[in-house]
Amino acid sequence: MIVDQKKYAFYALITLAFLALTLQLANLQIFERRKYLRHSQRNRIRSIIVQPKRGTIFDRNGVVLVENMPSYSVSAIPYESAKDDSLFYHIAGILRQDVHEIQNKIQSARGPFTPIKLARDVEFSALIRIEEQKLDFPGILFDVEPKRHYPAGVRAPHLFGYIGEISQSELRIKGNDGLQKGDIIGKKGLEKIYDRTLRGKAGYAYHEVDALGRVVRDLDIGEESHPVSGNDLYLALDGKLQKQAEEMFDQKNGGVVLLDVRNGGVLVDCSKPDYDPFIFSGTLEMDAWRELINDPDKPLYDRMIQSTFPPGSTFKLVLATAALQNKAVNLTEKTVCNGYVRLGNRIFNCWKKDGHGAVDFMEAIKRSCNVYFYRLMPRVGVDAWAAYAQDFGFGKVTGIDLANESSGNQPNREYLDQIYGKNGWSTGMLYNMAIGQGDVLVTPLQMAQLAMIIANKGRYYQPHVLDRTYNAESKRTIPFQPVGKSTELVSEEAYDVIRKAMLSVVNEEGGTGRASWLRDVLVAGKTGTAQNPHGESHAWFIGFAPFDKPQVAVCVFVENGGGGGAVAAPLAGEMLKAYFRQKDTLTAAL
Amino acid sequence: MLKDIRRNRVDVVIIVCVLIFAASSLLAVFSATFATESVIWNSTFSRQVLWIIMGLFIGAIITFIPPAWIASSAYKLYIILIILLFLTYFMGSGVGSRRWLSILGLNIQVSEFMKPVLVVVLARFLAKDYRTPDRPDVLFAVSMLVFLPFILVLQQPDLGTSLVYLVVLLPVFYWRGLSPFVIFVLCSPMITFFASFNFWTFFIVILLISAILYLSRRGRVFFTVVFLFNIAIGIIAPIAWNSLHVYQKQRILTFLGLSSDPQGVGYQIIQSKVAIGSGGLFGKGVLQGTQTQLRFLPAQHTDFIFSVIAEELGFIGAILLLAVFMIFLVRGIYIASTTKDQFTGLLTIGLVTVFAFQIVVNIGMTVGIMPVTGIPLPFISYGGSSMLTCMIMAGLIANTSLHRYKLY
C-alpha cells in the first residue's frame, strides 16, 4: 500500500503539470488567439516601398543626357547580423567603412527585422565578396538602387545638378510630404527644380517575408499600389552643341550661352570650370567634395547665371540705344577720339591709345570707341541710361528655370546716392559705367538675353532650359510655356540702327568682332573687354544670327581671357558655326 | 500466481504510445523543415526516419534483454560514458559549446545516452536492500554518481541536460522510501541558492530552515551539518552565478521577467507563443503554419517542435499529443508500481521522471511558462542521440513491463 501511495503522489504531480500546460495552451490558442493571429500576420507581411523610376532627361533631339543605372546598396537585418561582432569587422573591411559607424547604423534601425542601409553604391567587387561568403554574413542583404549617369558625355553639371538622400531639413519642406528618410531627391540644378516632375510616386508592395526578412513571395492582397514613374524631361538644350561648347572651353574659365531667340530656349549653357556630375551619383568621397568647394576657380558655380562681372564694351549698346531713342545723338555727327578724355585732373583712356580719330555713331560701335561713349553719357544722363538698362532686363533675374540666379547690379541715381552719398558720385563714374565698367555687374545670361532682345527688336522670352515634359504612362507631352516679354522704351527704328551697327562690328573692315564672321550666315555682334582689378581683362562677345531672321543669340564670356575681339569673338563664331552646320545637317537629314 | 503469469507480456499501451510519437515526430519534422529544404524528401527528414527506425529496433532488442543483464552492465556503461563525457570535454564540437563527440564519423551527444545509464546505475545501486536512503553514506554515494555527469555536462555548457540528471535523484529516493522530511532537507540548498542573492532573504530562509530542523529533533550533528551546508551554498551561489555563461544568465533572467531582451531569448518565446496562439482551436493545417513555414520559429525542428504541432494542428492536435504523453507517463508509473522487483521499479520510475521532466519543461518553454533551457521534446524533436535515447528508455520501460511479475 505504501507503493500505491507513492504512485498517487506521482500521478498527482504529473496531472498537475499537464493541467498547467493545458490551461496555458487553452489560454494561448483559444482565449488570446486573436491577439496572436494578428501578431503572426504582422510578422510575415511587410509593406515595402517600391521606389519609382526617376525620369530620364533628354536633349531637344531626344538624346539621353541623364538616366538611371543600377547601383548596389548593402543592408543588414539587425536581428540576424547583430549576433556576431566579428561580422561587423568583416563587413566594414569589405565596405571600407568604420566598424563603429556600421554598428551605429545598425543600432539606429527601426526594428530588429527592418533592414538598415549600410552602404550605397557599393563596388561590384565588394558585392561579389559578400555574395561569396554569404553563409558567413547572416542578415546581410543587398539590393539594386538607381543612380544617375550621363551617357551622352555631356557634363553640364550646373544644369543637371545631382540627386542625393533627403536631409532632415528637406524632409520638413512642404511638398515633400510623401517622402521619408533614405529617399532620393534632387539636390541641385534641374534635378532639384523639376524634382517633383522627375521623382514620380512611390508604390507599396506587400511581401511575405521569412524570419530573416527575406522575401518569400509577393502578396496580392489588393491594397498595394504601383509606383508611378517620374516624367521625362526634354530640354531645349542641344546635347551635341553643349558637348562641343564644353570642349571649346576646356582649360578656360568662362563659358557660353546660346539662346533660341524664337522661344527663349537655352540651347547651350556651358560654364567652366565644372565638375563631373557622376561623382555625385554614388557616395561622394569627402576628399572630392572638399576639393570642389575649396577650388579657387569655384567649379560648383554656374558662371553663366550665378556669377556677375563687369560687361565692358558690350554694355555700350545700352547707352547707344538710350541715346538713339532720346534723340541725344545725331548719327552723322562725328567726335574726335585722341585716345583719351580729360575730366578735371583725371584722364579716361580709349582702349586704342592713339585714338580712333573722327568717329560717328556707327563707327563708334563698330570700333568700340570709348571716348565717343564717354562724351555721350552726360548727354543721355544717368536716369535715362539706367531706365533703358532696366528695360533690357539688367538688375533683375531673367527667371530662367535654374536655382540661385544672380540679378547683377544695375546702378541708377538712387543706388549711387545711397552708396556714395548725394554728391559723392561724379561724372567720372558715369564715364566708367558708360563703357560697362565700374558698378555695373551682369551675368552672361543677361547679356545673352540682351542679344536676344536686339535680335528680335524688343520681343523676347524668359530663358528656359526645359522644353517639354513627357509622361511615359499616359504618353502625354506637356510643352513648356515660354513667357513672352517685350521692351517698353525702345522703338523699332532704334533697334534697326543698333542691329545695323552690330552687323558692322562683325562684317565690316575695322570691326572689333570680325573673328566671329561666318561665310554663309550673317552674324551681328558686339565685343567687350572688361577691365577688372583681379588680373587680365574679361573677354566678352554677344551676338545673334542670322541677321535677317535671327534664330540664336549668343554670349561668350572668358574670365580673364583678354580682349573680346581676339578671344571671345572667335569662340562665338565657332559656336554659331557649329549651330548652323548642325542645323543644315539636320534639315538635310529631314 | 496464475493470474500473474498471464499478464507477463509487453505492455501494449507503451508500444502504441511510442508508435504514435514516432508518427507525430515524422509529421512535425517534415513540416518544420519543409520550407528550408524545399525538396519534399529532405535530408533532415530522411535522417529522422532513419533514427526512428533504428530506435524502434534498438528499443525492441532492449525490451527482451533479461533485466539481470542490464543491472550487471550498469557500472561498466556508466564508466564508459563518463570517459566519453571527458573526451567530449577535450575534443567535442558544437556551436558555442562542446556537446558532440565524433565517433566513427557519427556525431554523438553523449549526455543524452547518459540519461538512461545514470538511471540504471542509480536503480542498481539503490536496489540493494541494505542501502536504505536514510543513510547519509548512501545519500552521499548516490549524489556523487549524479554530480559527476552533472558537472561534466553543465560545463559543456548544457544546463538543460544536466538538470535532467539532477531531477532524477529525488523521485528515485522517494520511491526507495526516503521520507518527505529528508527530501525537504535535500531541497533546502536549492531554496537557499535562490535566496542567497539578497542578504535578507538569505537570512530569513536560513532562519526558517533552522527552525524546521530544530523542530524535527534529529540531533545536534545533523542540524549542524545541514545548517553549515546551507550557509556554504549561500556563499558559493552568487559566485557560481557569476561563472555562468552570459546567455544562460540571460535565459534565466528573461524567464524570471528580470530582463527585457526583445531580440534574444525573449524573442524565441514570443515567436513560439505567436505560433501556438495563432494556431487556434483547429490549427492552420499541415504545412500551412505561417510562423513555421516562414521560419519565424527558432529551432523549430528541435527544441520548438511542439510549437509547430500546435500551430498547424491547433489546440486539438496539441491536446491529443499531450494526452498520449500523459497516458505514456501514467502507464510508466503504473508499471513501476506493479513490478515486484526493486531494481526495475526504481529504473522505471527514474525513466518516467526523465520523460516527464523533459516533456513538461520543453512544452512549458514553448508556451512560455518555463525558461528556455534547450531540452528537446522526447520522441518528437529532431536529433539522433535524443531519439535513440528515448527509444532505449522506452525499451527499458517495456522491458520492465515484460518482466515485472517474474522474480529473478
Residue range of the domain that includes A17: 2-31
Domain at A516, CATH number: 3.40.710.10
- Same domain assignment for residues A20 and A140: no
Hey, is the C-beta of B175 within 8 angstroms of any chain A C-beta? Answer: yes
Q: Which of A2, A17, A40 sits opposite B291 (nearest CB)?
A: A40
ipTM entry: 0.85
For an interface test with A, give the residue of B278, B331, B334, B354 to mutate (most A CBs within 10 A). B278
Residue-wise DSSP of A447-514: HHHHHHHHHTTTEEE--BSEEEEEETTTTEEEE----EEE-SS--HHHHHHHHHHHHHHHHSTT-TTG
* Residue B90 forms part of a structural domain: yes
pLDDT in tens, A371-405: 999 999 999 999 999 999 999 999 999 999 998 99
Whether the CB-CB separation of A554 and A261 falls below 8 Å is answered with: no
The pLDDT of residue B172 is above 50: yes
Interchain pair B274, A208: CB under 8 A: no
Hey, is the C-beta of B320 within 8 angstroms of any chain A C-beta? Answer: no
The pLDDT of residue A337 is above 60: yes
Q: What's the gap in Å between the CA of A253 and the closest CA on chain B?
A: 59
* Residue B300 forms part of a structural domain: yes
* Residue A164 forms part of a structural domain: no
Mark which of A148, A167, A187 sits at the end of a domain: A148
Interchain pair A79, B337: CB under 8 A: no
CA pair distance A74, A97, nearest whole angstrom = 12
Whether the CB-CB separation of B35 and B300 falls below 8 Å is answered with: no
CA pair distance A298, A311, nearest whole angstrom = 20
pLDDT in tens, A315-328: 999 999 999 999 88
* Residue A189 forms part of a structural domain: no
How many CA atoms, within 13 angstroms, populate the side-chain half-sphere of residue A6?
Answer: 23
Residue-wise DSSP of A164-196: EEPPHHHHTSTT-TT--TT-EEE-SHHHHHTHH
Hey, is the C-beta of B363 within 8 angstroms of any chain A C-beta? Answer: yes
Residues of A in contact with B349 (CB under 8 A): 10
* Residue B288 forms part of a structural domain: yes
More confident residue, A278 or A571: A571
The pLDDT of residue B70 is above 60: yes
Phi first, then psi: what are they for B394, rounded to 5°?
A: -65, -40
How many domains is chain A built from?
A: 3
Phi first, then psi: what are they for A273, rounded to 5°?
A: -75, 155
Instruction: Report B:124-153 residues touching A (Cβ under 8 A).
Output: none
* Residue A227 forms part of a structural domain: no
Helix/strand/coil for A267: strand
Instruction: Report B:247-286 residues touching A (Cβ under 8 A).
Output: 262-263, 267, 271, 273-281
pLDDT of residue A48: 64
The pLDDT of residue A422 is above 90: no
Mark which of A114, A148, A182 sits at the end of a domain: A148
How many domains is chain B built from?
A: 1
* Residue A153 forms part of a structural domain: no
* Residue B78 forms part of a structural domain: yes
Interchain pair B267, A112: CB under 8 A: yes
Hey, is the C-beta of B35 within 8 angstroms of any chain A C-beta? Answer: yes
Helix/strand/coil for A555: strand
The pLDDT of residue A30 is above 80: yes
| Residue B155 banded pLDDT, cuts 50, 70, 90 | confident
The pLDDT of residue A95 is above 60: yes
Q: Which of B275, B281, B363 sits opposite A30 (nearest CB)?
A: B281
- Same domain assignment for residues A444 and A577: yes
The pLDDT of residue B358 is above 90: yes
* Residue B339 forms part of a structural domain: yes
* Residue A328 forms part of a structural domain: yes
Interchain pair A39, B276: CB under 8 A: no
- Same domain assignment for residues A12 and A94: no
* Residue A494 forms part of a structural domain: yes
Cα dist. A454→A114, A379, A508, A524, B212 in Å? 61, 23, 19, 10, 115
Average pLDDT, rounded, for chain A: 87
| β B106-108/A476-479 pair status | unpaired
* Residue A160 forms part of a structural domain: no
Of the listed ranges A84-93, A494-503, B359-368, the least confidently predicted one is A84-93
- Same domain assignment for residues A16 and A100: no
Cell numbers placing B60: 525492441
* Residue B408 forms part of a structural domain: no
Interchain pair A25, B356: CB under 8 A: no
Residue range of the domain that includes B244: 2-403
Closest CA to A513 of A478, A553, A554, A541: A541
Interchain pair B274, A30: CB under 8 A: no
- Same domain assignment for residues A373 and A499: yes
Hey, is the C-beta of B34 within 8 angstroms of any chain A C-beta? Answer: no
Average pLDDT, rounded, for chain B: 83
pLDDT of residue B263: 45
* Residue A194 forms part of a structural domain: no
The pLDDT of residue A573 is above 60: yes
Of the listed ranges B122-131, B192-201, B219-228, B396-405, the least confidently predicted one is B192-201
Domain at A122, CATH number: 3.90.1310.10
Residues of B in contact with A2 (CB under 8 A): 177
Q: What is the mean pLDDT of residues A80-106?
A: 79
pLDDT in tens, A524-541: 999 999 998 888 999 999
Q: What's the gap in Å between the CA of A146 and the closest CA on chain B?
A: 30
The pLDDT of residue A442 is above 90: yes
**How many DSSP H helices and E strands does chain A contain?**
21, 23
pLDDT of residue B261: 45
- Same domain assignment for residues A515 and A431: yes
